């Protein structure tokens, strides 16, 4: 049986330029025809390490063990920040050590070699990380020759955990999806049941806890598909209606003080 090697890509490069295609060309040139390249997303907000970390975190359990993931959101490209390989549940994640892997349960990590002579100082996605990903697909044992990195030395991700305040639970917006749903840094196991939202400008709106998006009027609070709680509007755009962006904080309130 022919083994099919799978490599996943994530970046903030978009698709209007040829940057992603150049990375794929490097990988395909180094590997056999048996490699399959899957795009997680290339629409991470430019330079948003936190958004890249979010996408990796929520996709992790669907990436099959033995795969390689190349993740490039790298505003510090060409500086002293190092490139790393992280092992997460039998999968290798490759990219800059800038917090993009900070939400992952990393078991082991290694430092990538310095860029070779002639590598672009501004495009390590192609000239460092893509080629390292291809090499790991061909030879997973390559990590034995790399310099180990201690777990506590990896750059963490900067996210705000939910916290109780006098009048409710303060949570941060993790992501606004393509439908305008507001994904919160609040696990779906949450036992807090709000009746109101207090928005960044002080505006307060009623919210209804439901199980699905459809046929419910008003602002909805529900368990999303990514293991996190969401705020949504049926057949509408919650982020536009409420004026909410990724990184904003919202206060969930059980009852209003009279």
What is the per-residue pLDDT across 92-121, written as a single tens digit (0 to 9) for each?
A: 999 999 999 999 999 999 999 999 999 999
Is residue 139 located within the same domain as residue 175? Answer: no
Torsion angles phi and psi, residue 60, rounded to 5: -50, -50
In a domain, 11, yes or no: yes
Q: Within a domain: residue 236? A: yes
Query: Looking at the domain assignment, is residue 258 inside a domain?
Result: no
Residue 1, pLDDT above cutoff 70: no
Which residues have CB under 8 Å from 175's CB, separation 6+?
Answer: 51, 54, 55, 183, 246
pLDDT value at residue 256: 81
Return the structure tokens found at 99: 């917090």
State residue 215's pLDDT score.
73
Residues 182 and 59 in one domain: no
Residue-range definition of the domain harbouring residue 102: 5-153
State yes or no: pLDDT of 230 exceeds 80: yes
What is the band of 2 on the pLDDT scale with cuts at 50, 70, 90? Answer: very low
Give the lowest-confidence range in 24-28, 34-38, 58-62.
Answer: 34-38
Of 131, 153, 175, which residue is a domain's last? 153
Domain termination site, one of 110, 128, 153: 153
Verify that 118 and 204 share a domain, yes or no.
Answer: no
Pair (138, 188) in one structural domain = no
**Three-state secondary structure string covering the chain:** CCCCEEEEEEECCCCCCCHHHHHHHHHHHHCCCCEEEEEEECCCCCCCHHHHHHHHHHHHHHCCCCCEEEEECCCCCCCCCCEEEEEECCEEEEEECCCCCCCCCCCEEEECCCCCCCCCCCCHHHHHHHHHHHHHHHCHHHHHHCEECCHHHCCCCCCCCCEEECCEEEEEEEEECCCCCEEEEEECCCCCCCCEEECCCCCEEECEECCCCCCCCCEEEEECCCCEEEEEECCCCHHHHHCCCCCCEEEEECCCCC
Regarding whether 146 and 168 lie in a shared domain, the answer is no
Distance CA 164, CA 150 (A): 33
Whether 255 shows a pLDDT value over 80: the answer reads yes
Mean pLDDT, range 159-165, rounded to an integer: 88
- What CATH number corresponds to the domain at position 106? 3.40.50.10790
What is the arithmetic mean of pLDDT over 142-151? 96
On whether both 172 and 244 belong to a single domain, the answer is yes
**Which among 134, 153, 172 is the end of a domain?**
153
Judged against a pLDDT cut of 90, whether residue 165 lies above it is answered with: no
Instruction: Give the model confidence (pLDDT) of 50-63 as tens digits.
Output: 999 999 999 999 99
Query: What percentage of the chain has pLDDT greater than the value 70?
Result: 97
Q: What is the mean pLDDT of the chain?
A: 93
pLDDT tens for 184-229 read 999 999 889 999 999 999 999 999 999 999 878 899 999 999 999 9
pTM of the model: 0.92
Examine the domain organization and report whether 9 and 87 are in the same domain.
yes
Residues 6+ apart with CB under 8 A from 32: 5
58 & 115 share domain? yes
- Do 77 and 49 sit in the same domain of this protein? yes
Q: What is the mean pLDDT of residues 5-34?
A: 94
Is 81 inside any structural domain? yes
The pLDDT score that the predictor gives to residue 161 is 87
CATH of the domain at 216: 2.40.30.90
| 180 falls within a domain | yes
Number of separate domains in the chain: 2
Question: Do 146 and 167 reside in the same domain of the chain?
Answer: no
Q: Are 233 and 226 in contact (CB under 8 A)?
A: no
Residue 92 resides in a domain: yes
Examine residue 158 and state whether it is found in any structural domain, yes or no. Answer: no
Residue 217, in any domain of the structure: yes
Q: 12 with 95, same domain? A: yes
- pLDDT at residue 24 greater than cutoff 50: yes
What does the alpha-carbon distance between residue 252 and residue 190 come to, in Å, rounded to a whole number?
12
Average pLDDT over residues 66-93: 96
**Other C-beta atoms lying within 10 Å of the C-beta of residue 24:** 18
The radius of gyration of the chain's CA atoms, rounded to the nearest angstrom, is 21
Identify whether residues 112 and 182 lie together within a single domain.
no
């Amino acid at each position: 049986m022919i083994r099919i090697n799978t490599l996943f890509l994530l970046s903030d490069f978009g698709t209007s330029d040829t940057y992603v295609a150049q990375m794929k060309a490097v990988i395909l040139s180094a590997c056999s025809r048996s490699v399959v390249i899957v795009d997680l997303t290339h629409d991470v907000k430019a330079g948003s390490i936190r958004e890249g970390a979010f996408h990796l975190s929520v996709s992790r359990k669907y990436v099959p063990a033995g795969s390689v993931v190349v993740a490039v959101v790298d505003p510090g490209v060409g500086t002293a920040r190092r490139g790393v390989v992280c092992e997460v549940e039998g999968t290798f994640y490759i990219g800059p050590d800038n917090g993009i892997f900070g939400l992952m349960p990393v078991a082991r990590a290694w430092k990538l070699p310095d860029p070779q002579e002639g590598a672009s100082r501004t495009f390590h996605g192609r000239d460092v990380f893509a080629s390292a990903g291809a090499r790991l697909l061909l030879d997973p044992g390559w990590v034995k020759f790399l310099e180990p990195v201690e777990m506590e030395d990896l750059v963490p991700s900067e996210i705000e955990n939910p916290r109780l305040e006098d009048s409710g639970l303060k949570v941060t917006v993790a992501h606004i999806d393509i439908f305008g749903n507001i994904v919160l840094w609040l696990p779906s196991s949450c036992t807090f049941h709000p009746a109101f939202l207090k928005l960044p400008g002080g505006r307060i709106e009623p919210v209804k806890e439901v199980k699905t998006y459809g046929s419910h009027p008003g602002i909805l609070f529900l368990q999303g598909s990514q293991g996190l709680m969401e705020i949504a509007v049926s057949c509408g755009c919650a982020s536009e209606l409420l004026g909410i962006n990724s990184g904003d904080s919202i206060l969930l309130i059980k009852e209003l003080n009279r």
